[in-house]
Amino acid sequence: MVHLSIDQEGFRDIRPVFKLVGYSRPPECETAPISLNVHLNSAQADFMPLKRQSFIFHHATLDTPPILRRLTINGDESHDYISRQAYLSLRANGAYSVHGAESSHVDRHHAECTNLAWKFDYLVGDRRADNGKLVPGEKTFTPLGFSCSPGLLHPAHRKKIRLMHIVKKSVVPKLTAEKLEPPAPPCSLRPSVRPGDTHSISFGPSSPPHPSTRMGFLSHRRARSQVSKQPDAAAHDLSKNWEHISSISNTLHATFRRTSTRSRSADYSSYPASREPSDIPTSGLGHAAPRSGGSSLPTRFSGDIALDRKILPATMLATLLSDPSETGLAGPTATHASNLAGNIQPLRPPNHHTRTSTSHRGS
């Protein structure tokens, strides 16, 4: 059994226990047989927690993260197997890994110094209360696994825990854990899209190593029915709709012009012949023919608008209200204009609540 001693500033000391679950042989060498020394240095022993358990640690900007202090075997607290301590970061949620190497002379017959590698993996998460709410300032720490060279656990490599050993470990710079990125999907599962094709998605080794977010969105079967049309098809539909609207507009405009012409011919057919043609508008309120003097009336409307038979043009109203002697109109036309001007009375509200003199006398 492998025991790791972890604490945070001397508090919350934990001792996770790992058991051996696997062994990886070193790479085979064709020129010479594999010796015991090669197994101790190049092979790898894998350990898993004896019990899956999460621990609680404080996390703040100014707080020191947990520190891996010692590595012991089978509960022997008098010997240590690593010479450097390691900071176990809790900065963000996710998987972390810290690894180191120890120099040792396991084989007494060889003067060469060998490097014995080791690695520790753990998981960081948020701590939540029983009601599901997030607990601020605290993180969960879950050991995942430990692996090392078999020579690291050899009795010849262990060191007696004394004062000098503790001082050396405190002076030497500590290792730092690194956050692990999630592995990329295999090449056979990465979507590959042909250029210019946003509907069909195939899977193959020719896919880009990191598919974009849009490609991942289109890979869902629900999204395939909601993908917008191609730009060419959308432009074709827009042009067809515009042609249809233009044809309807032209038809309505032609019908409106015919109606306007008939209305004007019916309105002005009874005008006296002595009127000047310049006084009669030729195309609705927006276009008035210039007078003989060369001036023209200001226009506020434009276009061919049909005149209502009950509305008089501005020029006709000005002629009717003017003095017949000044305009030169004589005969029945002037008399008719004077009668019309005299009959014009301002509008006044009805007197619904006014009492008559008779009713007042009766009361």
The top-scoring range by mean pLDDT among 124-128, 182-186, 187-191 is 124-128
| pLDDT (0 to 100) of residue 304 | 46
Q: What is the DSSP string of 113-133?
A: PEEEEEEEEEEEEEEE-TTS-
**Which sign, positive or negative, has the C-alpha torsion 82, 102, 149, 33?**
negative
Q: Which two tokens stand for residue 27?
A: 């790479």
Comparison of pLDDT for 189 and 65, the residue scoring more: 65
Comparison of pLDDT for 15 and 363, the residue scoring more: 15
- Angle between helices 314-321 and 332-342 in degrees, nearest 10: 90
Q: Is the pLDDT of residue 182 over 70?
A: yes
Parallel/antiparallel/unpaired status of strands 17-24 and 55-58: unpaired
Q: Is the pLDDT of residue 298 over 50?
A: no
Closest to 6 measured CA to CA, from 179, 178, 151, 177: 177
Amino acid 12 reads: R
Closest to 93 measured CA to CA, from 7, 13, 5, 182: 182
| pLDDT (0 to 100) of residue 17 | 92
Query: Phi, psi at residue 73, to the nearest 5°?
Result: -125, 135
Q: Which two tokens stand for residue 63?
A: 């707080």
Query: Phi, psi at residue 152, to the nearest 5°?
Result: -65, -30
Q: With bands split at pLDDT 50, 70 and 90, how would you rate the model's confidence at 19?
A: very high
The top-scoring range by mean pLDDT among 206-215, 327-336, 338-347 is 338-347
Query: Phi, psi at residue 274, to the nearest 5°?
Result: -75, -10
Q: Is the pLDDT of residue 275 over 90?
A: no
Q: Is the pLDDT of residue 204 over 50?
A: no
What are the residues whose beta carbons fall under 8 Å from the beta carbon of 23, sequence distance 6 or more? 43, 44, 45, 46, 150
Q: What angle do CA 84, 39, 154 make, to 5 degrees?
A: 45
**Which sign, positive or negative, has the C-alpha torsion 205, 208, 211, 214?**
negative
| pLDDT (0 to 100) of residue 32 | 61
* 3-state DSSP assignment of residue 171: helix
Which of these ranges, 66-70, 84-88, 178-182, 293-297, has the smallest mean pLDDT?
A: 293-297
210-258 confidence digits (pLDDT tens):
444 444 444 455 544 444 445 555 556 666 666 767 776 676 666 656 5
Residues in a beta bridge with 87: 67, 176
| pLDDT (0 to 100) of residue 362 | 47
Task: Name the residue with tokens 């089978």.
Answer: 74
Task: Name the residue with tokens 């609680």.
Answer: 56
Q: Is the pLDDT of residue 179 over 50?
A: yes
Q: With bands split at pLDDT 50, 70 and 90, how would you rate the model's confidence at 329?
A: very low
Q: Which two tokens stand for residue 22?
A: 């696997």
Closest to 300 measured CA to CA, from 282, 316, 315, 286: 286
Comparison of pLDDT for 349 and 166, the residue scoring more: 166
Closest to 96 measured CA to CA, from 183, 180, 167, 188: 180
Asked if residues 98 and 86 have their Cβ atoms less than 8 Å apart, the reply is yes
The top-scoring range by mean pLDDT among 198-202, 221-225, 289-293, 319-323 is 319-323
Residue 148 parent element (H or E): strand 134-148
Mean pLDDT, all residues of the chain: 70
348-357 confidence digits (pLDDT tens):
777 766 555 4
Task: Name the residue with tokens 């006084």.
Answer: 279
Q: Which two tokens stand for residue 357?
A: 């003199």
Across 175-185, average pLDDT: 84
Asked if residues 172 and 91 have their Cβ atoms less than 8 Å apart, the reply is no
| pLDDT (0 to 100) of residue 125 | 92
Q: Which two tokens stand for residue 223?
A: 């999204």
| pLDDT (0 to 100) of residue 62 | 84
43-90 confidence digits (pLDDT tens):
888 999 998 889 999 888 888 899 999 999 988 888 888 889 999 999
Residues in a beta bridge with 124: 94, 141
133-160 confidence digits (pLDDT tens):
888 889 999 999 999 988 888 888 888 8
| pLDDT (0 to 100) of residue 183 | 74
92-104 confidence digits (pLDDT tens):
999 999 999 888 7
